[in-house]
């Protein structure tokens, strides 16, 4: 069953001509309602079926509670189905950005679904009954980055398409001017963090380990009974020490006050869904200690946790008596006034860097800071130098070195700078994305250890209550596939490649040993391959980019996320315009469409003004790559025609400036989809190599060209007034379709093509 509820044949033969298009959340989901009819109509010309699967946050919540729902309310577990599909040679999946849900987002989605009549349980912060423990376990499976590890059964090949890079050079985006007097800088821990406490080992044979906590009295508590391991697998363990973290945060707050720079913390609380919300909570607790101390009893009664941020606190106290509310708000205001100057996410609404853990995702927050001269926004809605606090030092040097480089050399020039494509190790839940179920806030002083089936301790740390301990895994076959992909990319593009690995870091040392063992199996003659730690790799890459030279970055999973936002934002103005291909290890293909960090703001504008400025360029790029994969793998010549013509249409789309405008009344996402359809139809109509395709699309190309003014008027005239889509996390699909397809002329033209 498809995510749209339609049944279809799941046999290998059927899948050879099928693209699975994911329905996700927020702005990408809205855009899908407008773009998918175009894709359906055009793909049909090549005999390619496009089906959807709903992996939105709301659908994933409903999928884990079928026993709480009526028959007609139940939904398929589309994510699990796609996870199985990704392991097959027939897989061809286009994956749009989805919500990597923080706890506040999960709770908001639950409330919306409950209000819509779905009798799912509340999220239990502190489960006590069997039912609450069961509900918490189910909700934990959909928190954070629950989608990507399931689908990514391959490693990542991400780069700026030639058309996008050419457009950025011809029409450069705005870059802030750097001053040598800038006081902006990165602050990171030197001891007591994950990097400094890491231990790593490669296992020789298949095994199954358990994770234990041993308290000071010698009592053993098994925290995770089973973690199967494969021969050759690398496992790591590390601990973030609470006392070191709190001391570090307090010192940085005081230093920010003394220097007069903005206090800002940068984490990945949605992806690192266990560790980073706790770290975020320590930052909130440190800066607002007077409030939490003065109202400890009230906050405990209300279940307020600093891990959820100030916004959650403010919402939780709304039910208190007015006088008590005022007292707490007065303490909040007074503490904020006495704190170091704070970075703001939205100063007009008083939303600081500490209001929501999902507002300050490091790979979305640091690149704009660097692009904007190292500055962030203060309480007065003005830009100011900032202290970027990145507690764990594992990858902080990436941003620290980049800030130092820009301070010395000035801003990069998009018209001349080189490109930094990435080959990322992420297959089979590699590294940190495999750590969620193996991350724990330590309950008591003692020892954390990883023990194999023979009773031998493989990894061990002395810990104190409140420390954050985690274990990570990386499969041997995923590593070797990553190395092969890096060599192939370097060979195909004739570009130097740098493996961002540090011989002094335990995990990286294990990777380097495998790299040195694996490389002789590949043709590396004439290739420039280096192995450098983060700081040195950053400097080398920045120097080459400044000189207009390309450099392939070959990295682990978290650095993949960081680099594929930082450099695209500097190079082409956004990470949403990158081509992201995941060659799946069993022969299929996963095609990702870019980042969704700006999606919530786009939804807000649509609801207020019926104008959606989401740019679907990432979807266009992924779709072309998906068609090309079908053509190459299954010898589908028609699919190759669609790929070639879509690439040509996309290049024209960029050249003609058909991306959505930010302003209401001007071209938005729906209008950009019209122009893609027009250009694509014209390219297909001009295909001299395929007379049947040209004949089929000529009438559409002519009709769309003749009706251009009428269609644009129908698309633009609806803008300016609020719209109702029936929900945020679980919108009414019929209402959404009505909003996103307001042109009868355009709709009829597409229907005639499919008819």
Which is it for strands 552-555 and 497-500: parallel, antiparallel or unpaired?
parallel
Q: What are phi and psi of 398, to 5 degrees?
A: -55, -50
Q: What is the mean pLDDT of the chain?
A: 94
Dist. CA 620–CA 29, nearest whole Å: 15
389 pLDDT more than 50: yes
pLDDT for the residue 3: 34
**pLDDT band, very low/low/confident/very high, at 184 (cuts 50, 70, 90):** very high
pLDDT for the residue 455: 97
- 470: nearest Cα among 741, 278, 183, 691: 278
Residue 73 has a CB neighbour count (10 Å cut-off) of 16
Average pLDDT over residues 58-75: 97
The token pair at 142 is 């959909």
Q: How many residues belong to the chain?
A: 755
Residue 1, classed as helix, strand or coil, is: coil
pLDDT in tens, 91-128: 999 999 999 888 889 999 999 999 999 999 999 999 99
pLDDT for the residue 433: 58
Maximum distance among all Cα pairs of the chain, rounded to whole angstroms:
82
Dist. CA 601–CA 597, nearest whole Å: 9
- Helix (H) / strand (E) element for 212: namely strand 207-215
688 pLDDT more than 80: no
Secondary structure percentages of the chain, helix, strand, coil, to 5: 50, 15, 35
- Burial status of residue 383 (CB atoms within 10 A of its CB: 0-12, 13-18, 19 or more): middle
Kindly state the DSSP code that residue 158 receives in the 8-state scheme: E
Average pLDDT over residues 495-524: 98
- 359: nearest Cα among 287, 268, 252: 268
DSSP assignment of 95-151 equals: E-----B-HHHHHHHHHHHHHTT--PPPP-SS--SHHHHHHHHHHHTTSBS-SHHHH
pLDDT for the residue 5: 37
Residues 599, 603, 609, 614, CA torsion sign: positive
**pLDDT band, very low/low/confident/very high, at 358 (cuts 50, 70, 90):** confident
The token pair at 92 is 């061809």
pLDDT in tens, 126-178: 999 999 999 999 999 998 778 988 998 999 999 999 889 999 999 999 999 99
7 pLDDT more than 80: no
% of the chain exceeding 90 in pLDDT: 86
Residues 245, 247, 252, 253, CA torsion sign: positive
What count of Cα atoms within 13 Å lies in the side-chain half-sphere of residue 601? 10
**Taking the domains of the chain in order of start, what are their residue ranges?**
187-193+242-409
Kindly state the DSSP code that residue 339 receives in the 8-state scheme: S
pLDDT for the residue 1: 27
Average pLDDT over residues 202-230: 97
pLDDT for the residue 596: 63
Range 442-479 burial, b when 16+ CB lie within 10 A, else e: beeebbbbbbeeeeeebbebebeebbbbbbbbbbbebb
**pLDDT band, very low/low/confident/very high, at 360 (cuts 50, 70, 90):** confident
pLDDT for the residue 8: 33
pLDDT in tens, 544-576: 999 999 999 999 999 999 999 999 999 999 887
pLDDT in tens, 415-447: 999 999 999 999 998 976 557 889 999 999 999
Dist. CA 755–CA 750, nearest whole Å: 9
Q: Who contacts 663 (Cβ-Cβ below 8 Å, separation ≥6)?
A: 611
pLDDT in tens, 244-296: 999 999 999 999 999 999 999 999 987 788 899 999 999 999 999 999 999 99
Dist. CA 345–CA 336, nearest whole Å: 15
Residue 754, classed as helix, strand or coil, is: helix
User: C-alpha angle with apex 367: 363 to 370, nearest 5 degrees?
Assistant: 145
Residue 447, classed as helix, strand or coil, is: strand
Dist. CA 729–CA 183, nearest whole Å: 41
pLDDT for the residue 689: 64
Please list the residues that pair with 185 across neighbouring strands: 387
The token pair at 574 is 């956004």
Q: Who contacts 299 (Cβ-Cβ below 8 Å, separation ≥6)?
A: 292, 313
Dist. CA 10–CA 635, nearest whole Å: 20
598 pLDDT more than 80: no
pLDDT in tens, 451-493: 999 999 999 999 999 999 999 999 999 999 999 999 999 999 9
Q: What are phi and psi of 154, to 5 degrees?
A: -165, 175
pLDDT for the residue 149: 85
Is-contact 429 473, C-beta < 8 A?
Answer: yes
- Helix (H) / strand (E) element for 478: namely helix 476-493
Is-contact 18 82, C-beta < 8 A?
Answer: no
**pLDDT band, very low/low/confident/very high, at 16 (cuts 50, 70, 90):** low
pLDDT in tens, 311-338: 999 999 998 999 999 999 999 999 999 9
Is-contact 336 352, C-beta < 8 A?
Answer: yes
- Burial status of residue 415 (CB atoms within 10 A of its CB: 0-12, 13-18, 19 or more): exposed
The token pair at 419 is 């490109």
The token pair at 551 is 């450099």
Is-contact 516 484, C-beta < 8 A?
Answer: no
Residue 356, classed as helix, strand or coil, is: coil
What count of Cα atoms within 13 Å lies in the side-chain half-sphere of residue 620? 31
pLDDT in tens, 633-681: 988 888 999 999 999 999 999 999 999 999 999 999 999 999 999 999 9
Predicted TM-score (pTM) above 0.95: no
Please list the residues that pair with 158 across neighbouring strands: 422, 580
């Amino acid at each position: 069953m498809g995510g749209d509820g339609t049944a279809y044949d799941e046999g290998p033969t059927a899948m050879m001509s099928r693209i699975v298009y994911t329905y996700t959340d927020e702005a990408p989901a809205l855009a899908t309602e407008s773009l998918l009819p175009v894709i359906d109509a055009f793909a049909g010309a090549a005999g390619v079926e496009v089906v959807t699967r709903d992996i939105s946050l709301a659908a994933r919540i409903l999928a884990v509670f079928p026993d709480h729902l009526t028959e007609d309310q139940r939904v398929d577990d589309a994510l699990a189905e796609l996870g199985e599909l990704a392991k097959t040679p027939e897989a061809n999946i286009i994956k749009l950005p989805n919500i990597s849900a923080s706890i506040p987002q999960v709770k908001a989605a639950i409330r919306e679904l409950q209000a819509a009549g779905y009798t799912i349980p509340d999220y239990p912060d502190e489960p006590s009954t069997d039912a609450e423990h069961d509900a918490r376990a189910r909700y934990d499976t959909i928190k954070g980055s629950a989608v990507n590890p399931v689908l990514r059964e391959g490693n990542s090949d991400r780069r700026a398409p030639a058309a996008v890079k050419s457009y950025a050079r011809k029409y450069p985006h705005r870059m802030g001017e750097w001053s040598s007097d800038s006081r902006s800088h990165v602050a990171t821990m030197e001891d007591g963090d994950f990097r400094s406490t890491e231990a790593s080992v490669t296992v020789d044979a298949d095994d199954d380990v358990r994770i234990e906590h041993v308290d000071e009295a010698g009592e053993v508590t098994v925290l995770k009974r089973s973690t199967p391991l494969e021969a050759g697998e690398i496992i790591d363990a590390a601990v973030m020490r609470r006392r070191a973290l709190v001391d570090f945060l307090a010192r940085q707050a005081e230093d920010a006050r003394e220097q007069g720079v903005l206090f800002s913390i940068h984490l990945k609380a949605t992806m690192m869904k266990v560790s980073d919300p706790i770290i975020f909570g320590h930052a909130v607790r440190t800066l607002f200690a007077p409030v939490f101390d003065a109202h400890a009893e009230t906050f405990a009664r209300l279940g307020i946790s600093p891990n959820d941020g100030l916004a959650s606190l403010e919402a939780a106290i709304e039910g208190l008596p007015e006088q008590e509310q005022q007292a707490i708000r007065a303490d909040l205001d007074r503490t904020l006034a006495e704190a170091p100057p704070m970075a703001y996410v939205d100063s007009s609404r008083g939303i600081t860097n500490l209001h929501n853990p999902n507002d300050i995702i490091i790979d979305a927050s640091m690149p704009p800071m660097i692009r904007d001269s190292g500055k962030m926004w203060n309480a007065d809605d003005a830009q100011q130098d900032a202290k970027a606090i990145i507690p764990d030092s594992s990858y902080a040097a990436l941003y620290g070195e980049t800030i130092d480089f820009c301070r010395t050399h000035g801003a990069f020039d998009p018209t001349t700078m080189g490109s930094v494509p990435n080959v990322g190790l992420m297959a089979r839940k590699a590294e940190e994305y495999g750590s969620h179920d193996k991350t724990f806030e330590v309950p008591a002083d003692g020892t954390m250890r990883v023990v194999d089936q023979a009773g031998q301790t493989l990894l061990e740390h002395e810990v104190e209550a409140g420390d954050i301990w985690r274990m990570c895994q990386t499969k041997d076959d995923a590593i070797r596939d990553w190395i092969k992909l890096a060599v192939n990319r370097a060979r195909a593009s004739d570009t130097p490649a740098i493996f961002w690995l540090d011989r002094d870091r335990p995990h990286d040392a294990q990777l380097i040993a495998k790299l040195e063992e694996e490389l002789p199996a590949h043709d590396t003659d004439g290739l420039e391959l280096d192995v450098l730690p983060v700081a040195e790799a950053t400097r080398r890459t920045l120097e080459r980019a400044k000189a207009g030279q390309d450099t392939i970055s070959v990295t682990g999973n978290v650095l993949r996320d960081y680099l594929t936002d930082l450099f695209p934002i500097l190079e082409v103005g956004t990470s949403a315009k990158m081509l992201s291909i995941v060659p799946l290890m069993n022969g299929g293909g996963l095609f990702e469409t870019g980042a969704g960090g700006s999606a919530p703001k786009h939804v807000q504008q649509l609801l207020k003004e019926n104008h959606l400025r989401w740019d679907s360029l990432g979807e266009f790029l992924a779709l072309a790559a998906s068609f090309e994969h079908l053509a190459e793998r299954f010898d589908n010549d028609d699919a190759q025609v669609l790929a070639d013509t879509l690439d040509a249409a996309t290049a024209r789309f960029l050249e003609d400036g058909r991306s959505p405008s930010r302003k209401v009344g001007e071209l938005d996402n729906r209008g950009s989809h019209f122009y893609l359809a027009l250009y694509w139809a014209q390219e297909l109509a001009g295909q001299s190599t395929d007379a049947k395709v040209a004949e089929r699309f000529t009438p559409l190309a002519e009709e769309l060209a003749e009706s251009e003014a009428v269609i644009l008027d129908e698309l633009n005239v609806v803008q300016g007034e609020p719209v109702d889509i029936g929900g945020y996390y679980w919108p009414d699909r019929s209402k959404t379709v009505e909003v996103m397809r307001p042109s009868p002329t355009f709709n009829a033209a597409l229907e005639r093509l499919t008819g």
